[in-house]
Amino acid sequence: METPLLNGSSGDTDLIGDDGDYRPVEGYRQMRRVFWIETVKLWKIAGLIVFNILCQYGTYSVTTIFVGHLGDIELSSVAIALSVIGTFSFGFLLGMGSALETLCGQAFGAGQVYLLGVYMQRSWIILWVTCIILLPIYFFTTPILKLLGQEDDIADLAGTFTIKIIPQLFALAISFPTQKFLQAQSKVSVIAWIGFVVLLIHVGFLWLFIYVIGWGTNGAALAFDLSSWITAISQVIYVVGWCNEGWKGLSWLAFKEIWSFVRLSLESAIMLCLEVWYMMSIIILTGHLENPVIAVGSLSICMNLNGWEFVVFLGINAAISVRVSNELGLGHSRAVKYSVYVTIVQSLLIGLVCMVVVMGARDYFAIIFTSSKVLQQAVAKLAYLLGITMVVNSVQPVISGVAVGGGWQALVAYINLGCYYVFGLPLGFLLGYKADMGVMGIWLGMISGTALQTVFLLIIIYKTNWNKEVEQTTDRMRKWGGQDIETEKIADNI
């Protein structure tokens, strides 16, 4: 099996020890070479994942755009259904599925490639059961939205639309684990191509069902369901047909140690959801200020820009998770440490560049979203906080990716709970309402929570003994379906 560290380049042999791991870096020249090696490996994975996430984001955006031409009520209803109910389910299932990033990545790195198919089937089972548990939210969307104060017409249509996209929910339960299966092996080009082709197909479906046949929001729901299942089925076909080393067919081993797997999946979901809900809560708090239209509008514009930057870091998040889990599986503790340090430095540089751009264009970028001078001025005042947020958010997703790759989901979930909900939210409330700082106070408090979480995780990473993490990786694979890893490695080397 080819080591994830190097591709056999003779010019890098002085960097690599007999065990395949990096030797201690000595001098600027070696440090520069390690930085370049890790940069190439990171972006080979991250670039294509970013492209795929943009395609997935595009299916939601395009659906909203097409429906928007049907009427204001249709637009609001579908937007709420996708952004509230759809995002909640998407985030929870993505979190549940991210347990595979830990297990599949470590198994692949250790040469236990056959386990990837078993883990993927186990995740399919867990996510399908999770979908069934989530169904009441879909069936009772209308009363839930009315309880939250939404208008009856919008809530009724949103509830109807949500019920009709239930098939899409179950498609995610197939596609998420399959994506993690492929990501662990760095087969991300397939995911990217499928995402791009399905986006084009989705646009065709929307045009056909909404404009040609005239099915309105029913046609949008049908297009959403079909596109999601095309993605899931295409990925499974590729796995079955072209991933023979990792896919050995359906196996009863998928039911082995399933409760331990469920626990790791829940830890992953809680860790991710605490982060997603934290950023959603700022909109809720802002909506209760004295001038909510300007406050929410200006904040939404800033969050939109921040969201585009966040897409890039989601790709880096997934890429560093793959790198960490693969190298832990191989037993390369120093490679893990170097890849983490290189990724944090690069992400911080990207965040600083984004901050500088936002600061420089603070008086102009709101024109893209609104013609209101009052709203443009409000956005310009928030631009400084947006720039700081971009820097903080550049490091935080990387550390979360390291946590997933290392299997630290439970620890990070506790840290998120304390930093976000015990410190950040109350501070934002006090600054926003009691100190009369408005939206700037709310945002400043929440940035402080994110910064505190980032500091804690940086300290943990700095103090981590990666040799012990390698030992825990070996124990985890033995417990959850692996054979004796050292025997496998010896056989592989022979």
pLDDT in tens, 104-152: 887 887 788 888 898 899 989 999 999 999 999 999 999 988 887 677 8
Give just the sign of the alpha carbon dihedral 332, 333, 337, 343: positive
- The two tokens of residue 428 are 């934002």
Mean pLDDT of the region 64-82: 80
Token pair 């939205």 is at which residue?
145
Residue 254: pLDDT above 80? no
Mean pLDDT of the region 75-82: 79
Query: Residue 76's pLDDT is what?
Result: 73
Helix (H, G, I), strand (E, B) or coil at 215: coil
DSSP 105-145: HHHHHTT-THHHHHHHHHHHHHHHHHHHHHHHHHHTHHHHH
More confident residue, 294 or 160: 160
The answer to whether the beta carbons of residues 447 and 72 sit under 8 Å apart is: no
Residue 352: pLDDT above 90? yes
User: How do residues 389-428 score in pLDDT, each as one tens digit?
Assistant: 888 888 888 888 888 777 787 788 888 889 988 999 899 8
Position 6 confidence tier, pLDDT thresholds 50, 70, 90: very low
Query: Residue 9's pLDDT is what?
Result: 47
Query: Residue 296's pLDDT is what?
Result: 65
More confident residue, 324 or 64: 324
Strongest mean pLDDT among 62-76, 218-232, 466-480: 218-232
Token pair 């909900």 is at which residue?
421
Query: Residue 137's pLDDT is what?
Result: 93
Query: Residue 441's pLDDT is what?
Result: 87
Q: Which residues of 378-403 are buried (b: 16+ CB within 10 A; e: fewer)?
A: bbbebbebbbbbbbbbbbbbbbbbbb
Residue 489: pLDDT above 80? no
Residues of the chain with pLDDT > 90, as a percent, come to 26
Mean pLDDT of the region 164-192: 92
DSSP structural state of residue 17: -
User: How do residues 422-433 score in pLDDT, each as one tens digit?
Assistant: 999 899 889 988
pTM (two decimals):
0.78
Strongest mean pLDDT among 36-40, 117-121, 232-236, 308-312: 232-236
User: How do residues 80-103 score in pLDDT, each as one tens digit?
Assistant: 788 778 878 887 888 788 777 778
Mean pLDDT of the region 234-244: 93
Phi first, then psi, for residue 71 (nearest 5°) are 155, 165
Position 480 confidence tier, pLDDT thresholds 50, 70, 90: low
The answer to whether the beta carbons of residues 322 and 404 sit under 8 Å apart is: no
Q: How far is CA 335 from the centre of its chain?
A: 23
Q: Which of 3-17, 79-93, 165-179, 208-222 has the least mean pLDDT?
A: 3-17
Report the C-alpha gap between 295 and 375 in whole angstroms: 9
Burial class (CB in 10 A: 0-12, 13-18, 19+), 445: buried
User: How do residues 449-463 score in pLDDT, each as one tens digit?
Assistant: 989 988 988 888 888
DSSP 257-271: THHHHHHHHHHHHHH
Token pair 């994975």 is at which residue?
45
Strands (DSSP E) contained in 134-194 are none
| 439-to-305, 352, 445, 462 alpha-carbon distances in Å | 17, 23, 10, 34
Helix (H, G, I), strand (E, B) or coil at 450: helix
Vertex 118: Cα angle to 246 and 483 (nearest 5): 85
Report the C-alpha gap between 277 and 94 in whole angstroms: 14
Residue 8: pLDDT above 50? no
